[in-house]
Amino acid sequence: MIERDIFWTVTVLLGIGTFLIRFSFLGLMGRRSLPPWALVHLRYVAVAVFPALITPLVLWPPATGGETDPARLMAAGAAFVVGVRFNVIGAIAAGMATLYLSQYLLG
């Protein structure tokens, strides 16, 4: 176990560090407009982050002990197709419906 003093020192320093990181962007740049090149790059942040968050949950889901599950692969495929064609809400609904239906049918 880590000593109580060291734990709280590290916790407080990490809190201050994360505050300063956020403040450097929001507090100092909050009232200024960003340059056009930065805005172009920020448009792609969500497109890069969401697949990185979702892919491990589809390929190695904790619910199946890390084994790839065909139901989740089908749900991800359905969500992708509907998301590309229509919108995010439709992709979520299609993915959920496909997951529940395929889990019911596959057992």
Structure confidence by residue, pLDDT tens digits, 12-29: 999 999 999 988 878 877
Instruction: Specify the pLDDT at position 107.
Output: 79
Sole residue written with tokens 């792609």: 44
Instruction: Specify the pLDDT at position 76.
Output: 95
Q: How far is CA 100 from CA 16, 80, 93, 103, in A?
A: 43, 16, 11, 5
- Does the pTM surpass 0.95? The reply is no
Do residue 28 and residue 65 come from a single domain?
Answer: no
Q: Is the pLDDT of residue 84 over 90?
A: yes
Do residue 26 and residue 52 come from a single domain?
Answer: no
Side-chain half-sphere CA neighbours of 75 within 13 A: 24
- Could you give the number of structural domains in the chain? 2
Domain residues for the domain of 50 are 43-106
Structure confidence by residue, pLDDT tens digits, 30-57: 788 888 998 899 889 988 898 899 899 9
Contact between 104 and 75 under an 8 Å Cβ cutoff? The reply is no
Going by C-alpha positions, the residue among 77, 71, 79 that lies closest to residue 103 is: 71
Q: Is the pLDDT of residue 64 over 90?
A: no
